[in-house]
A and B are shown apart, each in its own frame.
Chain A
């Protein structure tokens, strides 16, 4: 399989000198779903900003055989869409349709194509009738879905999703996972940053673990990674947790949404 994203020796420092990314190297294959997990502040979102060319680090990034640089930024941003963690940051236009059509219009598509792409994207996330709605009147779950539609309307081949299920109730999470399944079945390459082990278990082909040293420390099949308790505990992805099962109260490492057996 061909690597659709190739990152080698990528480092990034914030303007105040804090390390954002520390010698990051990995590849993502076409059509795969790579879930990036790690504790808070390990550089996962910073990685996305570097991939989208919003911030510029040292190192080499290649996306769809194009080296990331200012010359081909527009092309790369057409092929790779990013969904931000907070939908209020992503939905900045007065109506949902304006937001969804923002990207296609900036790409210079004609109005018929923009219209069709926007309505298809809204239909895909189940918000067909929401086009004329004002973004701040939507529920959080609807905002999250509208946010993903703003990217889908550009028909990107790669999607970067930053904490897609954070703050969602179980029903909204389930709807969101269904959308991700549809995207997966369409052959899209998905890069998902999350703390949600349940989502990881549901959707990941491979899992990449980021450490507090701002670099990947493990990558592998989701079963191998999720069953490695020592790794998860060391990198703050599970925690010691006391809880109750009927009359039994006990303490062990705990992964939310991921089952455990009792002896």
Chain B
């Protein structure tokens, strides 16, 4: 039996693209020192995750693929960033210093990219790539850019298959000698793959031309902005305004004043 679609899956891709981009934009612009804001962003993403019906395991699997890349970039920052030293590691003849500024930058990269990855995972799990491309097209993203993304998505697997076949053909005739020669063989393979790709692109272009291609790929308009889309976007905007305006800090501040007043009484 087919599982019923989640709320996010039923939304127009345009509303998802706009909302998710708005969240990422606000997150990136929020100073890392406002850590409470990031707790709220995380809460908002959790709610989106709940609305998407994506299981935590699915999310975790995809996050674990992407996080190492971010970690690799961020790992050296605490040691390289100049600033006030907070601690150091002594190695004979060498001193590795960790700075306060470095730690904040590290947190900045890890938290913001981690949350952005979570949003991307939810977006990709609830929007088929074909719909995502159509959404971009409808949002007036340059058609050439959308076309390049579309072809990349369509032909990346075809190219991978082609590359695998070449690799297999090489490995069947490789018996573990002349390792240096293998570099040459890999070079040839890259060349062959390029030529085949070029020739394929010509054939695809011909197939497009004979069906009336004149510079743009038209698409059937299948999407319609519903009241649910308006509600979703409005909800996201209100949430972001709530976070960005710093209302949470004002509430806390008021609580503290009230607490002091109570103590005074």
Give residues in A with beta carbon < 8 Å to B.
Answer: 49, 52, 54, 74, 77-78, 81-82, 84, 86, 88-95, 97-98, 101-103, 105-107, 111, 114-115, 118, 134-136, 150-151, 154
Contacts and interface: CB of A to CB of B under 8 A. Distances in A.
A118 B211 CA distance: 14
Contacts of B133: 94
Given A98-B130, A103-B212, A92 B206 contact: no
A201 B258 CA distance: 94
Nearest to A52: B210
Given A94-B129, A105-B219, A77 B158 contact: no
Contacts, number: 79
B207 A90 contact: yes
* Chain B: interface size category: 20 to 34
B213 interface: yes
B210 A77 contact: yes
A91 B217 CA distance: 13
Q: Which 9 A-B pairs have the closest CB atoms?
A: A106-B212, A94-B130, A105-B218, A103-B211, A89-B203, A52-B210, A90-B207, A95-B130, A54-B206
A111 B154 CA distance: 24
B261 interface: no
A54 B213 contact: no
Given A92-B151, A101-B220, A135-B154, A107 B207 contact: no
A144 B26 CA distance: 47
Nearest to B150: A94
**Interface residues of A, dominant DSSP:** helix
A102 B158 contact: no
**Interface residues of B, dominant DSSP:** helix
B211 A98 contact: no
A114 B220 contact: yes
A106 B133 CA distance: 18
A102 B203 CA distance: 16
Interface of B: 129-130, 133, 150-151, 153-155, 157-158, 200, 203-204, 206-214, 217-221
Given A89-B200, A111-B220, A111-B221, A102 B211 contact: yes
A77 B206 CA distance: 12
B55 to A, nearest CB: 23
A111 B218 CA distance: 11
A94 B212 contact: no
A97 B220 contact: yes
A92 B209 CA distance: 12
A151 B207 CA distance: 10
Nearest to A107: B212
B206 A106 contact: no
Given A86-B203, A94-B150, A95-B130, A115 B212 contact: no
Contacts of A136: 154, 157-158
Contact of A94 (B153, B200, B214): B153
